[in-house]
């Protein structure tokens, strides 16, 4: 998806081995629809060449404040002014400890620091991706600088942990290119859910028959995980309760893994007490075996099939919605209905039965395991179709619809 279509990013590189990740980031930004202008310090050129960055960005790379080439269509020998004026954001990745200290004190002795200082503060945001040795990152001076840069309005991203080029292990690695891309996309996303705590359930449940068998369904969890990401992009604090799936946790989202419907109910009942929005996207099993055998059920050659009895699982969403109503609507609940036919009829009935203001319906066989989906939103006023699109696109649309409804949902 062209998440950054129409955006122009100035990508700044200061010195550090993490410059190789800047090459990947440049490609990722362009793939997301942005145009990229690279600016490098002298130190950065010791780690990666301007030729490489020019090939990836498709634009000449600027390295000196004395560069007389025309920039931004202006021939005034002021690239530090011209380049910043056309940018939607300046992203410095990597941002070394020295470069951040320089910015803190307003020093501007190279093109990149000049540009950061000369940018219009109210129009061109500054995003810094730190990269350094673990001891440098933990040093009180660096931490003071990071805190002050944030206070001054810069967005200073966190760092990754792991093996470092020096052979040590710890905090200080620059985030990976895909993580940085996510942070840039999230920066520009409307913060429609700022201040909200969103609880999302996702994936199937697994109801054990014996130690190696159980009942489950074809839900992949992809829709719920996309919703968690979209809610985080929209500025919410997000907690994701996931059934047994192998999907990576969306960046910035807290995750709790569960297995059975009873596990999920207990976890959601607890977490919903702190949430303001609950989106029940999990495909919870309707029934579970009345008893789980302690050992694997074996064939005995008789041809007789074991007799299994089942009990109904609790209705998690209906229970949480009822509790929310008792709390005077402090929690806005959204349900999901995965149907095989007559979607509108079943979704309307399910919304009334669950007692929720918004029910999201889809045709299960058409979406389980897929990367795209089509949704039907059902509320008290009627229904709205969201045409087939990627699950992330739909999740963003759904988050917008929920945000639009929230004021009416408050007492």
Angle at 39 between CA 33 and CA 44, to 5 degrees: 120
Whole-angstrom distance, CA of residue 331 vs CA of residue 137: 40
166 part of the active site: yes
Task: Note whether 19 and 44 are within 8 A (CB).
Answer: yes
Whole-angstrom distance, CA of residue 284 vs CA of residue 51: 54
State residue 384 phi and psi, 5-degree precision: -135, 130
The residues, ordered by sequence, that sit 6+ positions from 163 with a Cβ below 8 Å of its Cβ are 169, 173
Q: What residue has token string 């705590």?
A: 197
Q: Long-range contacts: 146-152, Cβ < 8 Å, 24+?
A: 146/100, 148/104, 149/100, 149/103, 149/104, 152/104
User: Which H or E run includes 52?
Assistant: helix 50-57
- Return the closest-CA partner of residue 273 out of 348, 191, 330: 330
Angle at 242 between CA 162 and CA 274, to 5 degrees: 95
Token code pair at residue 243: 């059934």
Token code pair at residue 301: 């050659």
Token code pair at residue 70: 């025309």
The residues, ordered by sequence, that sit 6+ positions from 64 with a Cβ below 8 Å of its Cβ are 110, 111
What count of Cα atoms within 13 Å lies in the side-chain half-sphere of residue 398?
A: 41
- Return the closest-CA partner of residue 374 out of 358, 387, 360: 387
Whole-angstrom distance, CA of residue 227 vs CA of residue 244: 17
- Residues annotated as catalytic (active site), given as ranges: 166
């Amino acid at each position: 998806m062209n998440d950054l279509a129409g955006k122009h990013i100035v990508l700044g590189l200061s010195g550090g081995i993490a410059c190789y990740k800047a090459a990947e980031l440049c490609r990722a930004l362009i793939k997301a629809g942005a145009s990229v202008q690279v600016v490098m310090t002298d130190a950065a050129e010791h780690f990666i060449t301007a030729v490489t960055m020019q090939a990836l960005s498709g634009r000449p790379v600027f390295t000196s404040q004395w560069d007389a080439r025309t920039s931004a269509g202006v021939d005034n020998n002021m690239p530090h002014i011209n380049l910043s004026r056309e940018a939607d954001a300046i992203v410095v990745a990597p941002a070394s400890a020295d470069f951040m200290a320089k910015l803190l004190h307003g020093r501007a002795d190279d093109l990149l620091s000049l540009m950061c200082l000369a940018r219009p503060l109210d129009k061109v945001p500054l995003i810094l991706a730190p990269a350094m040795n673990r001891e440098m990152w933990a040093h009180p001076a660096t931490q003071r600088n990071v805190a002050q840069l944030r206070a001054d309005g810069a967005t200073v991203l966190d760092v990754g942990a792991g093996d470092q080029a020096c052979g040590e292990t710890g905090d200080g690695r620059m985030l990976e290119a895909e993580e940085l891309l996510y942070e840039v996309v999230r920066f520009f996303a409307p913060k429609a859910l700022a201040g909200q705590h969103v609880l999302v359930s996702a994936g199937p449940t697994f109801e054990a028959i014996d130690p190696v068998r159980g009942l489950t369904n074809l839900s992949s969890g992809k829709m719920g995980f996309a919703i968690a990401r979209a809610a985080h992009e929209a500025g919410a604090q997000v907690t994701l309760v996931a059934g047994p799936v192998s999907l990576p946790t969306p960046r910035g989202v807290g995750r709790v893994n569960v297995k059975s419907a009873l596990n999920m109910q207990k976890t959601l009942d607890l977490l919903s007490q702190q949430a303001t929005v609950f989106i029940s996207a999990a495909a919870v099993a309707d029934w579970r075996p009345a008893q789980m055998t302690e050992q694997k059920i074996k064939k005995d050659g008789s041809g007789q099939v074991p007799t299994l009895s089942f009990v109904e699982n609790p209705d998690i969403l209906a229970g949480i919605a009822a509790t929310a109503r008792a709390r005077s609507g402090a929690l806005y609940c959204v349900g999901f209905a995965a149907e095989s036919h007559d979607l509108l009829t079943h979704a309307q009935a399910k919304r009334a039965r669950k007692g929720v203001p918004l029910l999201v319906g889809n045709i299960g066989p058409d979406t389980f395991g897929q990367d795209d989906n089509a949704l039907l939103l059902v509320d008290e006023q009627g229904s709205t179709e969201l045409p087939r699109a990627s699950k992330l696109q739909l999740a963003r649309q759904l988050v917008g619809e929920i945000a639009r409804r929230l004021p009416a949902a408050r007492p």
